[in-house]
């Protein structure tokens, strides 16, 4: 297997080398050009934080195209940390399969080295690994590979305990929704459940429960996706990729909290063994589900994991993250993720972390009673998908219906923010690092 590939970058103090220099000037529009050993960056006199980030992402891509490895980056209005993150976001490109490899930044010279530079480097490294795994196509990153990668990534980290359960265990434990989604590939790449316990806090402190969708590829099953919609479906495991690397980050930074992760992993393929429309499946929650759309599979695997960890672990909250619906992209575009929760404290904590991390969230409707009418079935406790109206909310409501305990719940639909032109992003990593660090159990 390919081992996790780490980002190798140094941060050095100005004067220790002879890097390409960045020079900022005021312009009417953003301009970037190179003159001898200086990259001139023209910025507007007044820019929003988002515009400043976008400018530095463009700068990072410019440096990559010019094959620049060493650069001096001056601080703008005490925003050096934000500049660094945006610069490396733009500098990244997934080049594993390109005949001509990219040249990325190796040394960044600064006026002053931030006191938290170790944390910054660790986050950058984790973002890099997250993008690499998410960008890798199914051929080289199936269910079995994902499991091996997780074991390699987390091996030897203090506070981490990892368990992997196979498709037979899923059936034995009653996680039939998860098994049903993945059984189309049972003979070649059967579904698995990765459970990760991170103990960084007090033994008596309950866990923060995080459940991430891990569809390593999603054809849509018998509700087959059109080609244009299927092209980025190797990225349908973004929720699991996010939470897997969050576990690595928490352990590496020694964050003093307890977190329990459930990562349901599966491949939604078509075979004679695949689930079909009109099938009725009883999940871990003991609730029956009429399958009305095999492409609404993510909510099925999440529902079983939500039911399992709520039953088996003491939780202060539970948050699902998933590339769940195209509807959230229609509503919010590709820069903002959807947030669904009726718990004010949990909702506000996530929004505050979103703002600090500059990874945008927007609250969408989540009325558990009225919206459940859209999932009403005549032959089962619920359908897995109704008609088109409020379909992003339908997904969140469906998952919640399988949480049988009174635990603060939130769902993040990251379908728009997880991928960018078939390449994975690192959306959510800084958001959840802040959330986990700041969340207080009652």
Catalytic residues: 225, 299
Largest separation between any pair of C-alpha atoms in the chain: 73
Cα(341)–Cα(396) distance, rounded to whole angstroms? 9
Q: Are 91 and 22 in contact (CB under 8 A)?
A: no
Pick the closest to residue 364 from 390, 403, 401, 325 (CA basis): 390
Residue with tokens 């569809």: 215
CA 14 distance to own-chain centroid: 35
H helices within 35-166, ranges in order? Answer: 49-65, 80-91, 117-135, 143-154
Pick the closest to residue 260 from 304, 337, 312 (CA basis): 312
110 bridge partner residues:
13
Residue with tokens 């599966």: 266
280 bridge partner residues:
290
Joined together, the tokens standing for residue 269 give 């393929």
Joined together, the tokens standing for residue 328 give 């959230």
Q: Are 267 and 189 in contact (CB under 8 A)?
A: yes
Cα(234)–Cα(223) distance, rounded to whole angstroms? 17
* Count of positions (residues) in the chain: 442
DSSP letter (8 states) at residue 379 = S
Q: Are 301 and 215 in contact (CB under 8 A)?
A: yes
Pick the closest to residue 209 from 318, 311, 346 (CA basis): 318
Pick the closest to residue 180 from 263, 308, 273 (CA basis): 273
| Number of Cβ atoms within 10 Å of the Cβ of 98 | 9
For 396, the enclosing helix (H) or strand (E) is: helix 391-400
């Amino acid at each position: 297997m390919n081992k996790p590939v780490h980002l190798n970058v140094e941060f050095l103090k100005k004067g220790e080398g002879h890097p390409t220099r960045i020079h900022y000037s005021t312009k009417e529009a953003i301009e970037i050009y190179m003159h001898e050993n200086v990259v001139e960056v023209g910025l507007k006199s007044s820019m929003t934080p988002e515009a400043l980030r976008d400018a530095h992402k463009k700068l990072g891509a410019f440096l990559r195209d010019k094959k620049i490895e060493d650069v001096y980056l001056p601080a703008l209005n005490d925003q050096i940390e934000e500049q660094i993150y945006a610069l490396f976001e733009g500098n990244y490109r997934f080049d594993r399969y390109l005949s001509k490899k990219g040249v990325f930044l190796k040394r960044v010279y600064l006026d002053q080295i931030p006191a938290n530079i170790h944390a910054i480097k660790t986050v950058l490294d984790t973002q890099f690994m997250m993008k690499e795994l998410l960008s890798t196509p199914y051929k080289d990153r199936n269910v079995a590979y994902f499991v091996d990668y997780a074991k390699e990534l987390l091996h030897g980290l203090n506070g981490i305990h990892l368990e992997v359960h196979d498709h037979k265990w899923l059936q034995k434990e009653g996680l039939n929704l998860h098994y049903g989604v993945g059984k189309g590939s049972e003979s070649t790449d059967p579904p698995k459940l990765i459970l990760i316990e991170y103990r960084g806090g007090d033994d008596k402190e309950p866990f923060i429960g995080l459940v991430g969708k891990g569809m390593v590829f999603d054809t849509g099953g018998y509700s087959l996706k059109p080609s244009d919609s299927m092209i980025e479906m190797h990225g349908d495991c973004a929720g699991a990729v996010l939470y897997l690397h969050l576990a690595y980050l928490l352990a590496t930074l020694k964050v003093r909290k307890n977190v329990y992760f459930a990562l349901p992993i599966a491949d939604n393929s078509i075979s004679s063994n695949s689930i079909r429309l009109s099938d009725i499946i009883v999940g871990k929650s003991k609730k029956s589900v009429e399958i009305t759309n095999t492409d609404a599979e993510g909510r099925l695997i999440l529902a079983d994991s939500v039911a399992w960890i709520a039953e088996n672990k003491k939780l202060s909250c539970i948050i699902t993250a998933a590339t769940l619906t195209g509807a959230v992209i229609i509503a919010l575009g590709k820069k903002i993720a959807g947030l669904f929760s009726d718990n004010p404290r949990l909702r506000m904590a996530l929004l505050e972390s979103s703002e600090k991390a500059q990874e945008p969230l927007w609250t969408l409707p989540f009325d558990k009673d009225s919206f459940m009418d859209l999932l009403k079935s005549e032959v089962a406790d619920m359908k897995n998908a109704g008609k088109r109206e409020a379909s992003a909310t339908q997904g969140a409501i469906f998952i919640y219906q399988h949480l049988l305990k009174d635990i603060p719940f939130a769902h993040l639909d990251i379908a728009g923010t997880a991928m960018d032109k078939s390449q994975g992003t690192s959306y959510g990593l800084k958001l959840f690092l802040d959330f986990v660090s700041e969340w207080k159990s009652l």
